[in-house]
Amino acid sequence: MKIDDYPALSDTTGREYENWSALVEAEANGYMLIAIITSTRNGKTKRWPVAYGPYPTKHEATKAKGRLRTKWRREQREY
């Protein structure tokens, strides 16, 4: 199941939406990209979030996600 298969309730307004995408569309000031960076060294794994945005539309955020993924893969190959 996907997150859009469930109804969503806004904690701020108390309004119920058909799904999470509808809630974000109605109440957000933009879209953010959140990446979880993982590093393993000496058998220990560290994770930390990195945020990019906000982007005015979901389409712009999706395009930025593709650009960032390409950039990270290129840098990983060069490393």
Looking from the CA of 23 toward its CB, the CA atoms found within 13 Å total 18
At residue 66, the pLDDT reads 95
Q: Contact at 8 Å (CB) between 52 and 69? A: no
Query: pLDDT for 31-72, tens place per residue?
Result: 889 888 888 999 999 999 998 988 988 899 999 999 999 998
Q: Which tokens in the block code for residue 20?
A: 């999470």
Checking if the pLDDT of 1 tops 70, the result is no
